[in-house]
Structure 1
Amino acid sequence: MPNGEYLRYVALGDSQTEGLGDGDDTVGLRGFADRLAEHLAAGGSEILYANLAVRGRLAGQVRAEQLGPALALRPDLATVVAGVNDVLRPRFDAAEVTGHLEEMFAALTRTGAHVVTLTFPDVSRIVPLARPVRPRLLDLNDRIRAAAGRHGVTVVETGRSAVATDPRLWGADRLHASPLGHERIAAATAHTIGLPGSDDAWSLPLPPQTVPTGWRTAGAELRWAAAFLGPWLGRRLRARSSGDGRTAKRPQLLPMTVLSPSAEDRGQRELS
């Protein structure tokens, strides 16, 4: 489909696509998928947009719960982003996860939709305690690229961009992108699929900043572990998910409007 002529966009995935880290459950979540829909709407055509993503979902759950509804919406553009929740689980089967992703790639591309996916940055650069999962993540990225190649799926290589591991692109929990991070992911996607007005500015580094060292670093790690790692481990031990009882925030195709930049967005862009 020619650049800028996508009219029906459907997003499938987990918390990243739902938009955690960009707004909250009180004021509403935005996220990279909403921001990409705004890029599409900026072209002047009426864009219909649905977001089926639910936080905490594993790749198999995304396939089981979201693929059917997505196909029923007949998108001409679809983003499929899942797998990180699987990587973080003790039992991880890379082939199984990739199989779920590939089934979604195949089913959506068969309908004529342009399907887009992402690779994931090295989380151990953001969360040092996550170093043991680094080989899993790199393997999953390679498998995603291979599966995407078999089905003509476009891969947005956020996993290879150095700026993707800048702490300022991540929220306080270090698991979800900050508003600036979501903005960069949306801009990377827009550039990769060739939307008018997009460019590679998303990949540029942020201005240098002073990095804490010594006891300040240790104290920050302890505070993060208490505030975020502990509750996350508690949910795993209880076999609970942050997405339990939740449904998609935007299950139907609805017109997308372009939001005027918020003060927060303007401030975040000044950093970039």
Structure 2
Amino acid sequence: MTDHHGRTESADPMLISPGSARALLRDAPWRRYAVLGDSIAQGVGEASAGYRDIGWADRVAEVLTAVHPETAYLNTGRIGATSDQLLAEQLAPVLEFRPDLVHISCGGNDLFHPGGDTDRLRANLETAFSALAATGAQLCAFTVADVWETERMAPMRPMRPRMAELNAIVRDVAGRYDAVLVDFWDHPLRLRPDLMSTDLIHFTTGGHAVVATEMIRALAARISAAAGSI
């Protein structure tokens, strides 16, 4: 089965094969992977024909578990979560889980509406990153993609400046905590006409597959860099 643009998961040029993904993470030192945040963290999105119906974080966890079966995985992400709710409801369970690899994806709901408080968002993300970094865990994050150029996304175009603000905050905070950061703002994925679900907010599962590939590549680069510094 293929999507209406002729792609399949096995022949998508933006994806790596399952075998390649496992090879990239074969030397991963992490055994407890946690993801916290909003619907992006949770992996919400409509199914794409030709792609497995699975979110990006579950895909990354799948590869980590394939190479190290003892890997434990926790995802506390939920639809609509703000950074206030992340701190109040998700941070403690994740800290209790004792992850050594943790991904934070939050902030879009804080700034979705006009008047979103960027200072409060920055402070909340700082609190979350600081608390998790203090455990010695490797932190990860990514920026949102600039999807608003396509005609289909025209109704959502007023969001673009606020999402650019979100990205600036994420880049800054992630950089200060040495997080593995994947910057999707200019990624060619953003121009795929079938990228967005009908809500025009969430990626389809075809998009999630590409996100997972880029996260796996970034984690592999960190593994290689760490090995080279020994």
CA–CA distance in structure 2, aligned partners of residues 131 and 147 of structure 1: 25
Are 1:131 and 2:157 matched, yes or no?
yes
Are 1:73 and 2:97 matched, yes or no?
yes
Pick the aligned partner of 1:111 from 135, 157, 178: 135
Change (3 A) 1:13 1:119: same
Pick the aligned partner of 2:186 from 160, 183, 189: 160
CA–CA distance in structure 2, aligned partners of residues 123 and 56 of structure 1: 20
The aligned counterpart of 1:185 is: 211
CA contact 1:18–1:30 (8 Å) conserved in 2: no
The aligned counterpart of 1:54 is: 78
Alignment of 1:186-205 (within 5 A): 186-194=212-220
Deviations, residues 107-163 of structure 1 (Å, cap 9, x unaligned) = 101101111011011242352122222122112211211111111112111223122
Change (3 A) 1:123 1:92: farther
Are 1:19 and 2:43 matched, yes or no?
yes
Are 1:169 and 2:169 matched, yes or no?
no
Identity of aligned residues (%): 35
Question: Which amino acid is the alignment partner of residue 53 of structure 1?
Answer: G
The aligned counterpart of 1:10 is: 34
CA contact 1:94–1:136 (8 Å) conserved in 2: no
The alpha carbon displacement at 1:3 in A equals: 4.4
SS of equivalent residue, structure 1 residue 186: helix
CA–CA distance in structure 1, aligned partners of residues 149 and 110 of structure 2: 19
The alpha carbon displacement at 1:60 in A equals: 1.6
Change (3 A) 1:8 1:78: same
The alpha carbon displacement at 1:22 in A equals: 5.0
The alpha carbon displacement at 1:9 in A equals: 0.5
* TM-score, structure 1 normalization: 0.65
SS of equivalent residue, structure 1 residue 115: strand
Deviations, residues 50-106 of structure 1 (Å, cap 9, x unaligned) = 110110111221122101110010000111001112221232111211221121111
Change (3 A) 1:145 1:34: same
The aligned counterpart of 1:64 is: 88
The aligned counterpart of 2:172 is: 146
* TM-score, structure 2 normalization: 0.77
Change (3 A) 1:22 1:47: farther
Aligned residues: 194
The aligned counterpart of 1:36 is: 60
CA–CA distance in structure 1, aligned partners of residues 40 and 221 of structure 2: 21
Change (3 A) 1:61 1:165: farther
Change (3 A) 1:6 1:58: same
CA–CA distance in structure 2, aligned partners of residues 162 and 144 of structure 1: 20
